Every structure is written in structure tokens, then in C-alpha cells.
Structure 1
Amino acid sequence: MALQILIDNTSTNTLSVALDGQLDTLTANDLETSIQTNLQQDTQTLIFDLQNLSFVSSAGLRVFAKARKTLKLRNGKVFFTNPTPQVKKVFDIVKAVPISEVFASTEELDAYLTVMQTEVEDNQ
């Protein structure tokens, strides 16, 4: 099964990537290329929407790890929303993604980001 990659540049510093299909050895390079093409110098937040991701292999996990490393170097963050049960199970098994970066829904992520930004504003 192919992987559909839907890109949404929601703001100048946020890139959202929705995945539909299977992220495996055959499709991991497509995702990596898409991220490299769409990631801007000022991108600080990368959000993967996994609602329609039915499978992830070790090749897919490597793409996620590389994206996390890239954003970490620029003091940015990567978040994962709406993981399917099978993808969440893979994350749990291999401990590939810190639990603090996985959210059950986009709304849950938005609430978290609101709290984080409020804390920064309160400390200024």
C-alpha cells in the first residue's frame, strides 16, 4: 500500500504532516524527502498526524528519529497526534518516541501548547 503525505504549513514556524497508508521501507524515503523539502529554516514545530497511518516499520521510525534530531538541533519540537492503536503499540514497544510527544488528538496537543506558551508569558 502506498503512503499519502499531506503537508500543511499552518504558520511560518509550524509544519503539519498527515500520513495515510503504510510507512515502511518502500515509503520511508518519500516521507524523508517531503520533510526535507517542506521544512523551512524557521520551522520550530513539526506535527505528524497519524490518524490514517496503518503501519510503521523500522525504516519509518528512523525517519521520525531523524526529524526529531533535526528539530532538536534548532531547539524545536516534534509532536505526534492521533496515533492508531497499532502505531502506538510500536512506539510503546521500541520506546522510539517519548510519551510527552504523543497526543491522542490535535485538541489535546493544542491544549498542551497553550499551557506551555502561557507559562512562558507568565515568566516574562
Structure 2
Amino acid sequence: MTFNLSTDGLTPQRVTLRVGGRLDAMTFGEFDEGVAPILQQMAEGGTVVVDLSFLEYISSAGLRSIAKIRKAMRARNGHTLLVNPQPQVKKVFEIVKAVPVSDVFASVEELDDYLDHMQRKIVNGTEEDI
């Protein structure tokens, strides 16, 4: 599946970004380019809701893109909310929150290999092996 991004209800106070497909090293640039003009329209104290319902895969590049949104909104005293992640994507966010990944992985490639492995286990129903 390819990457796609759409918006819903864009106002200076709130927008919902709907992300689908894969957010990885091949697609994060397209995501960042699509999000940049939207963030410029957000008001002080606004909220960006990132709907992950149709996001099937996220790599460290995708995580950095999400972090950029959070940083931009914090600079405006705003908020970023992530909603509806699929189980394998939710697992990546749990891993990143629980483990300071920069202290564990020797390279971005090693991190992406690990995240890929973990997401495949969730999709294939073998999460108990984690």
C-alpha cells in the first residue's frame, strides 16, 4: 500500500490529519510537505489530531515526522493528539515511549529493522513472542 494524507475540518483552531499506508523513509518527505502548510495555518493554542486508522506501518523516519508536528504545535502552545492506531503501529509508539531508543540502537537502520520485525509480529498474530 502507498502513503496517503488527507485533512478534515481545517480551521485555525483544529485540524484532523488522516494518514494511511506506510510512513517510512520513502514517504516521510511527502508527509512533511503536506503537513507544513497546514501547520502554518494553525492558531496559538490549536490542536492537530492525527488519525492513524489507516496507517499500516511506521518507521523511525515517520516517528520523526510526527515529532516535528508535536514540536511545532508546542511552540504555539497547542496540542497534538494521535488517535486510532492499528495494533502494530500502537506497539511502535509503546516501544519508543518505554525505551529511550537512542540508547539502545546503534543506527537508524538497526532501529527500523527492529520496528519492522515488531510490526510484522503484530500483523501475523505472533505478538506473544515479543
Q: Identify the TM-score tier after normalising by the shorter chain.
A: 0.7 to 0.9
- Equivalent residue letter for 2:57: F
The gaps in structure 1 that reach 5 residues or longer are: 97-124
Tell me, in whole angstroms, the C-alpha distance in 2 between the residues paired with 1:20 and 1:65.
Answer: 17
What is the RMSD of the two structures over their aligned residues, measured on CA atoms? 1.5
**How many angstroms does 1:38 deviate by?**
1.6
Aligned mates of 1:4, 1:22 — CA distance in 2: 8
How does the TM-score come out when normalised to structure 1? 0.72
Unaligned runs of 5+ in 2: 99-130
Q: How far off its partner does 1:8 sit?
A: 1.7
- Match of 2:37, SS state, is helix
Moved >4 Å (runs of 4+): none
Pair member with larger Rg: 2
Q: Which residue of 2 aligns with 1:67?
A: 69
SS at match of 1:75: coil
Going by fraction, where is strand more abundant, 1 or 2?
A: 1
Equivalent pairs counted in the alignment come to 96
Matches within 5 A, 1:81-120: 81-95=83-97
CA distance in 2 between counterparts of 1:24 and 1:91 reads: 14
Residue 103 of structure 1 corresponds to none
Amino-acid identity (%): 40
Residue number in structure 2 paired with 1:46? 48
Tell me the secondary structure at the aligned position of residue 83 of structure 1. coil
